[in-house]
């Protein structure tokens, strides 16, 4: 088969939110672009798909009020948002399995433990503000904060196990999706700082505020539609050759010669591309110290949202349950397109996810639904549609939600995180300071990288 040869100003590798926004902004600035995407669809970790007749958000879905760039792109594409359903009581399940109802951010854990949770969140808020999201590795205590695991740091701060379990929930299972003994205090502070503070991570009304009508994949789909033929699907990039005065990017079918390339991939996938000359040694090392977490996002759809009739919002938490958090995820809550079915979404993270993925699918499903039933009762056990998002098995992602450093990695390699190498630039939500791990961060770093390239061209 003959190889198609093309010439462009900039080649973008990856049609996720990062790559598509970078290409869009470069094209607006008058540069010619092409986006090469490995999959047969755009959106990467954003994927809205119909499962057994029900549209589900397989990947990212929520928009928080601080996601300014995402909000402006949503408006630019003429998309609409709606508020997540949150009327009624939330549910908390304690260590001994006791179920209680509550409103607000702090779980019903007793006055003393509540005061301890508030105290710990206060300390974390202060440290996150000091460390910031742009260059946490520059903080005078960066090395110290990066040398201690989040678990160990909490051990030093408090004797209250329930308080520690609850504080861990927000940054471990719920965000980095890794066990808290495997990431550092500094990495946790970066996550918190990028979201506006540890208090913001705790506030699900903030983090999980709105959804996009039609699904969040409408954003990359909208950007790709404008780029038209300049987005090419089924084109996994195999090689990048930087010749100094030009760069060559090769898939099995296409060779593009360009002035610059943007590698818009999560860091765990960059080494699948062969680089000539090889990337610098510290860059190679940096890539080996970042990995994606693992979370199973579970959708369970019912004939009706039965929990609403019981006065429940659908919001549920427990650091002691397999499914550590769950929400009402009923499609499109507005008068015109209101779905009559009810959808719950739950999350099983890190070591729980490892354990469940070693089991047969039927046993996994039974255990997950039993865990969700501890929040909403026995009706939960019989959904009409059941679906587990399995990003760990996706060839072109290999985990969820995003990448973080192992202990000590952020202070050691953070300074190289967003550095370009010759004509090669790197961008993805995993590298974003502002909006780290979120779609807003993806769009931001895409636009910033486009601007830097545009200026240099």
Question: Footprint of ligand FDA on this chain (CB under 6 A)?
Answer: 13-19, 36-39, 44-46, 59-62, 236-237, 264-266, 269, 272-273, 297, 389, 391, 396-397, 400-402, 428-429, 437-439, 442
In terms of CB distance, is 375 or 391 closer to ligand FDA?
391
Helix axes 218-227, 68-76, angle to 10 degrees: 60
> How many other CB atoms are there within 10 angstroms of residue 250's CB atom?
18
In terms of CB distance, is 12 or 180 closer to ligand FDA?
12
> Rounded CA gap, 328 and 262, in Å?
38
In terms of CB distance, is 93 or 439 closer to ligand FDA?
439
Question: Would you say 38 is a known binding-site residue?
Answer: yes
CB of 16 to ligand FDA, least distance (A): 2
In terms of CB distance, is 121 or 402 closer to ligand FDA?
402
Kindly state the helix (H) or strand (E) to which residue 114 belongs, with its residue range.
helix 111-131
CB of 400 to ligand FDA, least distance (A): 4
> What distances in angstroms separate CA 210 from CA 83, 200, 331, 440, one per listed residue?
4, 15, 12, 13
> Of 224, 258, 193, which is closest to residue 410 (Cα–Cα)?
193
CB of 389 to ligand FDA, least distance (A): 5
CB of 430 to ligand FDA, least distance (A): 7
Residue with tokens 């948002």: 81
Question: Would you say 263 is a known binding-site residue?
Answer: no
In terms of CB distance, is 174 or 369 closer to ligand FDA?
174
Give the tokens for residue 442: 């993806």
> Rounded CA gap, 254 and 6, in Å?
7
In terms of CB distance, is 37 or 165 closer to ligand FDA?
37
In terms of CB distance, is 41 or 365 closer to ligand FDA?
41
CB of 436 to ligand FDA, least distance (A): 9
CB of 95 to ligand FDA, least distance (A): 27
In terms of CB distance, is 17 or 74 closer to ligand FDA?
17
CB of 297 to ligand FDA, least distance (A): 4
Residue-wise over 128-161: b if at least 16 C-beta within 10 A, else e? beebbbeebbebeebeebbebbbbebbeebbebe
> CB within 8 A of 229, min separation 6: which ones?
none
Q: List, in sequence order, the alpha helices (H) in 304-408.
A: 306-309, 350-357, 361-376
CB of 414 to ligand FDA, least distance (A): 18
> What distances in angstroms separate CA 62 from CA 14, 168, 206, 213, 390, one per listed residue?
22, 21, 10, 11, 18
- Are 270 and 20 in contact by the 8 Å Cβ rule? The answer is no
In terms of CB distance, is 120 or 190 closer to ligand FDA?
190
CB of 374 to ligand FDA, least distance (A): 22
- Are 52 and 277 in contact by the 8 Å Cβ rule? The answer is no
Q: Within 13 Å, how many C-alpha atoms sit on residue 415's CB side?
A: 8
> What distances in angstroms separate CA 443 from CA 69, 79, 189, one per listed residue?
7, 16, 22
44: left (phi over 0), alpha (psi -120 to 50) or beta: left
Question: Would you say 317 is a known binding-site residue?
Answer: no
β-pair partners for 369: none
> Rounded CA gap, 392 and 107, in Å?
31
- Are 401 and 181 in contact by the 8 Å Cβ rule? The answer is no
Binding-site sequence positions = 18, 37-38, 237, 347
Binding-site sequence positions for substrate = 347
Binding-site sequence positions for FAD = 18, 37-38, 237
């Amino acid at each position: 088969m003959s190889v198609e040869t093309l010439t462009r100003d900039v080649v973008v590798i990856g049609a996720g939110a990062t790559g598509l926004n970078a290409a869009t902004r470069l094209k607006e600035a008058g540069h010619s672009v092409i986006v090469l995407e490995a999959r047969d669809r755009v959106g990467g970790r954003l994927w809205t798909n119909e499962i057994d007749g029900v549209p589900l958000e397989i990947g990212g879905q929520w928009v928080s009020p601080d996601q300014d760039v995402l909000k402006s792109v949503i408006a630019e594409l003429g998309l609409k948002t709606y508020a997540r359903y949150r009327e009624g009581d939330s549910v908390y399940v304690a260590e001994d399995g006791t179920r209680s109802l509550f409103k607000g951010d702090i779980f019903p854990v007793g006055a003393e433990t509540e005061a301890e949770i508030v105290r710990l969140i206060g300390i974390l808020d202060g440290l996150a503000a000091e460390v910031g999201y742009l260059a946490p590795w520059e903080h005078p205590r960066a090395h110290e904060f990066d040398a201690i695991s989040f678990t160990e740091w909490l051990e030093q701060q408090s004797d209250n196990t329930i308080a520690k379990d609850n504080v861990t929930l927000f940054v471990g299972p719920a965000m980095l999706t890794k066990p808290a003994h495997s990431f550092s205090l500094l990495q946790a502070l970066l996550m918190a700082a990028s979201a506006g503070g540890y208090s913001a991570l705790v506030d699900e009304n903030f983090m999980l505020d709105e959804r996009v009508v039609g699904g969040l994949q409408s954003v990359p789909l909208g950007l790709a539609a404008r780029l038209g033929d300049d987005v090419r699907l089924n084109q996994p990039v195999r090689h990048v050759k930087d010749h100094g005065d030009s760069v060559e990017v090769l898939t099995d079918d296409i060779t593009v010669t360009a002035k610059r390339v943007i590698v818009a991939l999560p860091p765990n996938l960059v080494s699948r591309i062969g680089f000539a000359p090889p990337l610098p040694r510290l860059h190679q090392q940096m890539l080996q110290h970042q990995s994606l977490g693992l979370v199973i996002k579970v959708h369970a759809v019912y004939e009706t949202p039965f929990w609403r009739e019981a006065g429940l919002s659908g919001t549920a938490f427990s650091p002691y349950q397999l499914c550590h958090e769950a929400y009402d995820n009923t499609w499109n809550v507005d008068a015109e397109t209101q779905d009559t079915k009810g959808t719950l979404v739950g999350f099983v993270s890190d070591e729980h996810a490892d354990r469940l993925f070693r089991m047969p699918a039927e046993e996994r499903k039974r255990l997950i639904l039993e865990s969700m039933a501890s929040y909403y009762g026995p009706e939960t056990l019989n959904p009409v549609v059941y679906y587990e998002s399995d990003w760990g098995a996706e060839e072109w992602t290999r985990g969820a939600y995003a990448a973080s450093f192992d202990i000590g990695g952020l202070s050691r390699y953070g300074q190289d995180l967003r550095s370009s190498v010759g004509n090669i630039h790197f961008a993805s939500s995993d590298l974003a300071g502002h909006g780290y791990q979120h779609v807003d961060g993806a769009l931001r770093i895409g636009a910033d990288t486009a601007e830097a390239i545009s200026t240099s061209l």
